[in-house]
Structure 1
């Protein structure tokens, strides 16, 4: 350990926690829990519990996975399965939360929910101009790697929290309705359905995937604060993760309650962005809409900065012939192009990828967290992932838009998938993954018990 290593102060931990919070909390983190509250109505409790598992606990575990395994990013998490798998997994994660879906969504949500109501539905150039400015700003904020901590943790994030606090103070001081009398949709009609659907709704935040990808950004920022020893970096990451995800959990609960209360004045909206617009306009009209536009732009920008920086850092580390700045430019350019397909198209095609990648990410995160118990044995990883990947692939095919899911191949896959346990609730991977874990652990301990005999021979 470096004897000159700086001792972290409370302020330092607060800054790292703020960085983590800013990287995690983006557009989806505002609109999805709000919509969940409207869907669940007075059954918001079990729905919130399910949502917090995939929206808070799992992202926290992803940060802990990075800390425990002393990984520098998503590549290291998949490394027990070999370099080929690790690289493929890294590319898929970064493509999904990056230029294909996650990063473009930050711009489209900020525009369609925040700014578009001012311009009118018939405007054809607004998204193009806004997304160009948005990703230009993302490029500028993340151009200097040394400035990411300062720009996100010290500048953008406090502004976002101040605006969101203002929204909560006004909304809870004069609620639009009561959560106890809020109507419930059929999918959330009982405890188990509300719990399960809340769990699946948490996929949309993409935070478990982001936690793995942001690892390199967070580790770099902590090292720049004077922490060079890997054990110290891991400890700071873990402690800061608890603080930041605790704040995320509190905001989720308040947003879910806000969504349920809004049913006292509004009907169920098609998505959370519409609900948010209705709520702020009910309280403050155009001024409220202006606050919402600012709020969304700031929080989406913090997430976009983290996503494009993590993409550029990871890809530069593994493909060093291309510089960080070139990867950064390519990420921003591709995100700009994808954003102009519109929010509805992005969500429609991102959901299938999340149904495939989330199960794989969940099992890899849990395996990483508990890896000291089985010495990070690749055999355990292999059996679990093999048993997870096939049903997760089936879930992906079934979740695609009709052009894929209703094709001959899609219908054939749906037929095979129907024989798997829990397929009806979108979790056909869970039981096979558990079987793979049992098989892997048995193989691990059998090999370990036979090792002395093999050495003696």
Structure 2
């Protein structure tokens, strides 16, 4: 068998790693990554450090693990992560992930957040709907053009838009550190965060959708690293993992500061309806009317970087599995669909995305962990099957009780809530953990006992 060699046999420079890390940072850090940590800080108040630890697990550690899962399994997308459970499951899982972070919730949010927080306050009330229509059309038009050529993604995101975003963001941080609104540790926390700050912070991290996005961005990341000449699976995976550590560490620091900032705003403002309003208040407090322009620019830049990654990953994955439709056609579909969904508004998107995330995240977490440790059990589909099967029911329960009242308070919703109460940790939204562990134990038991049983059966036959 012919040995594979990289097109570039030389070790990558620090600059190369920083460029890939910048790409990863830009793909991960988008709309929700700004507004949800600030809102979490307001909810947690003086308990912001405990809530931050829980948030960092799902919003930083899990995305890093998703990148490592792609590296360990040498995958190129969501489909490969679910493949041990068969092509049908892998395809369904891929479609659900891309639909969630794509045209249904995640990608439309990249346009609706910068508009509702940065642009809408500057417009007359009567202009809001038309303003969103025009802004979202221009936004997704730009995303389409910047991702039209796959080779331009790294240049557009990693080298140009990202540094601009960081410059704008850290200017706000500097002002807040020099003159904080209040002492974060002295602010009153809501009742939920006084008793279960860590777990509520953990669940808030779902809203960033970054663990889902990490799997979906796999194909984009792998393609970008190949452009640096690291074309063999082993070296490509190594570069991806190292760059992932750099990028997610940087994101974690920013999250911690944003959560702290959210807690300090309680010294001057009440808890806002969402983090977008809180961020608007924060920037306006320090910069006045100029803050609105800065905020609009900052949000638009960071959300555009994420939108580029999302639409490109969607088009690449769907073209790979539905090849009769071209990459550019899938790209156009994604941008048009996201534009249409964005015009339902930010509040609607957040309300209906929460139950879907409560359903998908348990599967995503288990599949990421199984992928990372898969060499220990040779990626045996039996282990995967037991874990996913035992996770299905509690994940469905979590989804049903998280829907708006029209669903959660229906007869079916109330019945589900009754059964859910019998599961451990249901009150924390973590009722899937014990069933998943039971499935893992059973799956590993079958995996390790099967060779022994087959060997014994073979002796009996002989």
Deviation sequence 1:129-153 (CA, Å, 0-9, x none):
0000000000001000000011000
Structure 1 match to 2:236: 233
Q: Say if 2:30 is the partner of 1:13.
A: no
Q: Say if 2:215 is the partner of 1:212.
A: yes
> Superposition pairs for residues 172-251 of structure 1, below 5 Å?
172-190=177-195, 193-251=196-254
Q: Say if 2:59 is the partner of 1:71.
A: no
Structure 1 match to 2:57: 53
2:7–2:230 Cα contact (<8 Å) kept: no
Deviation sequence 1:237-292 (CA, Å, 0-9, x none):
10000000000000000001111111111111111111101111111111111111
> Superposition pairs for residues 416-431 of structure 1, below 5 Å?
416-431=419-434
Q: Say if 2:5 is the partner of 1:2.
A: yes
Deviation sequence 1:26-60 (CA, Å, 0-9, x none):
01000100111111111011100000000000010
CA distance in 1, matches of 2:55, 2:382: 31
Structure 1 match to 2:162: 157
Deviation sequence 1:283-319 (CA, Å, 0-9, x none):
1111111111100000000000000000000000000
CA distance in 1, matches of 2:452, 2:117: 59
Deviation sequence 1:363-396 (CA, Å, 0-9, x none):
0000001111111110000000000011101111
**TM-score, length-normalised on structure 1?**
0.98
CA distance in 2, matches of 1:451, 1:154: 56
CA distance in 1, matches of 2:6, 2:200: 50
Structure 1 match to 2:359: 356
Helix, strand or coil for the counterpart of 1:263? helix
Given the superposition, is the C-alpha separation of residues 4 and 72 from structure 1 closer, same or farther in structure 2, using an over 3 Å criterion? closer
CA distance in 2, matches of 1:103, 1:48: 25
Structure 2 match to 1:372: 375
Cα displacement (A) at 1:403? 1.4
Structure 2 match to 1:297: 300
The alignment of Structure 1 onto Structure 2 pairs a total of residues equal to 455
Cα displacement (A) at 1:12? 0.7
Structure 2 match to 1:286: 289
* Runs (5+) with no aligned partner, structure 2: none
- 94-103 or 407-416: bigger deviation: 407-416
Cα displacement (A) at 1:448? 3.0
What is the Cα-based RMSD across aligned positions, in Å? Answer: 1.0
| 1:398 equivalent among 391, 398, 401 | 401
CA distance in 1, matches of 2:114, 2:399: 27
CA distance in 2, matches of 1:6, 1:346: 46
CA distance in 2, matches of 1:183, 1:390: 37
Structure 2 match to 1:169: 174
CA distance in 1, matches of 2:344, 2:9: 47
| 2:119 equivalent among 115, 138, 143 | 115
CA distance in 2, matches of 1:143, 1:187: 45
Given the superposition, is the C-alpha separation of residues 455 and 13 from structure 1 closer, same or farther in structure 2, using an over 3 Å criterion? farther
| 1:381 equivalent among 354, 362, 384 | 384
Cα displacement (A) at 1:120? 3.2
1:6–1:225 Cα contact (<8 Å) kept: no
1:135–1:336 Cα contact (<8 Å) kept: yes
Structure 2 match to 1:23: 27
CA distance in 2, matches of 1:455, 1:298: 64
Cα displacement (A) at 1:451? 4.4
* Runs (5+) with no aligned partner, structure 1: none
**TM-score, length-normalised on structure 2?**
0.97
CA distance in 2, matches of 1:107, 1:383: 39
